[in-house]
């Protein structure tokens, strides 16, 4: 393995910190509006359907715009698009804080969705271009971990400010978060290197003569479906785990919520380990993903069986999250290697933009589909659905690995920035 000089390690660490911080802001803004529901609903006379519409708009807009942002990354450079996304997030919370009617809240959700759409194409292109190969696994690991931290911090941040200073102040404070991160990204802009857009010998230029020629690659669709299945399953836990565990295991709201927290903690710890695992070149990326998700699926099925005592719900959720966390860095490197081997670095932006749409689509549909299942009282079935989704993701990961050729090494040279 190539020994990295301390200067290179310092550079890689700084890049990882900046990109991960930006990703944390993306997940932070997932929950800005939901965190203020207790104040927004009485202030504007909203019911639960009204309150949920801005959140639905957020994910729908993000899904549609994410593919477009991949093309923008290729044309204008990842840094410029990242700055635009952070600006849109800041504007969304400013509009929310200034809201005079329900339409303003919906507009805030749309603006936040536009801002959210840029992060996966920009982040992964910046990582691919600016981080040494030896550190790629750690970069992808911390990218995922900080996303979870963004989810964890937002409700505490928003509720504590809204409780003391009012919901409008909380919204303006959220806007300042994006502006602060934007300032840091601008400060560190010279740390980001250009992306090598040369084509590897394995790339097929015939398929790239049109803007959407990359969609003819089976691997692209497999990656899309992988993200769809994983986010579709996670959406059940994120939206309904307190209800499910309360009905099946008799847990209180606090106990059921702590089970979801255990999942997040497990995912973070698993992500750190996954970063070290993916750095071992002798290990097959797709098999790491498959074994890790199999571990998570078995634990999901165990919960669905209702065999464990209620005391074991949080530890089992921790193990589920741990498996997913271990899989995530290998997943992201697998997609990168597959894209480069098939299409070249030049098309990383649009591929990342498209495949991560699967995540937004899955999170958008999960509450609807599983909500209908829960309305019928099939709480154990919903948990079994998590295991099924993870199993489907296993087969797509193995298929991606099987269809990918040996990646060509990427060097750091000429992206427009």
For 37-87, write each residue's pLDDT tens digit.
Answer: 889 989 999 887 788 788 888 988 988 898 888 888 888 888 999 999 999
What percent of the chain clears pLDDT 90, i.e. is strictly above it?
31
User: Of the segments 24-33, 39-48, 95-104, 133-142, which one has the largest average pLDDT value?
Assistant: 95-104
Using one digit for the tens of pLDDT, what is the confidence trace for 290-319?
899 999 999 999 999 999 998 999 999 999
Q: Which of 1-15, 58-72, 383-397, 400-414 has the lowest mean pLDDT?
A: 400-414
Query: How many whole angstroms separate alpha carbon 89 and alpha carbon 166?
Result: 20
Residue 176 pLDDT level (bands cut at 50, 70, 90): very high
Q: Does residue 164 register a pLDDT over 90?
A: yes
Residue 351 pLDDT level (bands cut at 50, 70, 90): confident
Q: Does residue 282 register a pLDDT over 70?
A: no
Tell me what pLDDT residue 410 has: 42
Query: How many whole angstroms separate alpha carbon 57 and alpha carbon 79?
Result: 26
How many Å is the maximal CA-CA distance in the chain? Answer: 61
Residue 6 pLDDT level (bands cut at 50, 70, 90): low
Tell me what pLDDT residue 344 has: 67
Q: Does residue 405 register a pLDDT over 90?
A: no
Residue 220 has which token pair?
């692209």
Sorted by sequence, the CB contacts under 8 Å of residue 29 that are 6+ apart come out as 89, 92, 93, 112, 115, 116, 150, 154, 174, 178
Sign of the torsion angle spanned by Cα atoms 315, 319, 320, 321: positive
Tell me what pLDDT residue 197 has: 54
Q: Does residue 412 register a pLDDT over 50?
A: no
Tell me what pLDDT residue 1 has: 36
Average pLDDT in the 105-121 region? 94
Tell me what pLDDT residue 128 has: 84
Q: Does residue 342 register a pLDDT over 80?
A: no
Going by C-alpha positions, the residue among 386, 151, 147 that lies closest to residue 245 is 386
Query: How many whole angstroms separate alpha carbon 105 and alpha carbon 364?
Result: 18
Query: How many whole angstroms separate alpha carbon 15 and alpha carbon 89?
Result: 21
Tell me what pLDDT residue 166 has: 95
Tell me what pLDDT residue 411 has: 41
Q: What is the mean pLDDT of the chain?
A: 83
Tell me what pLDDT residue 115 has: 95
Residue 234 falls in which region: left (phi positive, over 0), alpha (psi -120 to 50) or beta = alpha
CB 319 within 8 A of CB 308: no
Tell me what pLDDT residue 32 has: 92
Tell me what pLDDT residue 237 has: 81
Q: Which of 128-142, 187-201, 239-253 has the lowest mean pLDDT?
A: 187-201
Report the interhelical angle of 48-76 vs 102-116 (nearest 10°).
30
Instruction: Specify the 3-state DSSP secondary structure of 167.
Output: helix
Using one digit for the tens of pLDDT, what is the confidence trace for 215-252?
778 888 888 898 899 888 887 887 777 778 888 898 88
Residue found under tokens 């803007």: 211
Residue 365 has which token pair?
């549909």
Residue 409 pLDDT level (bands cut at 50, 70, 90): very low
More confident site: 169 or 60: 169
Tell me what pLDDT residue 196 has: 58
What percent of the chain clears pLDDT 70, i.e. is strictly above it?
88
Average pLDDT in the 324-333 region? 86
């Amino acid at each position: 393995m190539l020994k990295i000089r301390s200067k290179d390690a310092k550079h890689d660490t700084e890049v990882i910190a900046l990109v991960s911080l930006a990703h944390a802001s993306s997940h932070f803004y997932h929950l800005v509006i939901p965190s203020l529901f207790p104040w927004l609903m009485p202030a504007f006379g909203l019911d639960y359907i009204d309150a949920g519409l801005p959140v639905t708009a957020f994910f729908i807009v993000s899904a549609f715009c994410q593919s477009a942002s991949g093309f923008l990354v290729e044309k204008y450079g990842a840094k410029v698009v990242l700055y635009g996304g952070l600006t849109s997030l800041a504007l969304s919370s400013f509009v929310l804080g200034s809201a005079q009617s329900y339409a303003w809240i919906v507009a805030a959700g749309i603006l936040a969705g536009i801002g959210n759409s840029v992060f996966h194409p920009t982040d992964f292109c910046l990582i691919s271009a600016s981080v040494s190969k030896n550190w790629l696994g750690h970069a992808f690991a911390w990218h995922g971990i900080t996303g979870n931290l963004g989810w964890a911090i937002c409700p505490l941040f928003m509720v504590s400010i809204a409780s003391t200073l009012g919901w409008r102040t909380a919204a303006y404070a959220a806007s300042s978060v994006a502006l602060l991160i934007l300032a840091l990204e601008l400060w560190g802009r010279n740390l980001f290197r250009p992306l090598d857009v040369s084509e590897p010998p394995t790339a097929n230029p015939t398929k790239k003569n049109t803007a959407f020629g990359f969609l003819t690659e089976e691997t692209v669709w497999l990656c899309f479906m992988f993200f769809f299945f994983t986010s579709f399953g996670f959406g059940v836990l994120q939206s309904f785990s307190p209800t499910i565990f309360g009905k099946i295991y008799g847990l209180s709201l606090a106990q059921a919520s702590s089970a979801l927290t255990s999942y997040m903690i497990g995912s973070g710890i698993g992500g750190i380990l996954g970063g070290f695992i993916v750095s071992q070149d002798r290990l097959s990326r797709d098999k790491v993903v498959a074994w890790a998700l199999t571990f998570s699926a078995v634990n999901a099925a165990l919960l669905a069986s209702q065999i464990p005592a209620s005391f074991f719900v949080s530890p089992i959720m921790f193990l589920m999250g741990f498996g997913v966390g271990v899989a995530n860095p290998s997943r992201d490197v697998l997609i990168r290697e597959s894209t480069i081997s098939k299409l070249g670095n030049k098309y990383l932006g649009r591929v990342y933009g498209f495949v991560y749409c699967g995540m937004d689509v899955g999170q958008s549909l999960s509450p609807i589909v599983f909500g209908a299942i829960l309305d019928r009282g099939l709480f154990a079935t919903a948990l079994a659905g998590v295991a099924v989704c993870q199993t489907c993701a296993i087969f797509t990961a193995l298929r991606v690995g099987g269809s990918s050729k040996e990646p060509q090494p990427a060097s750091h040279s000429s992206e427009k920035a």
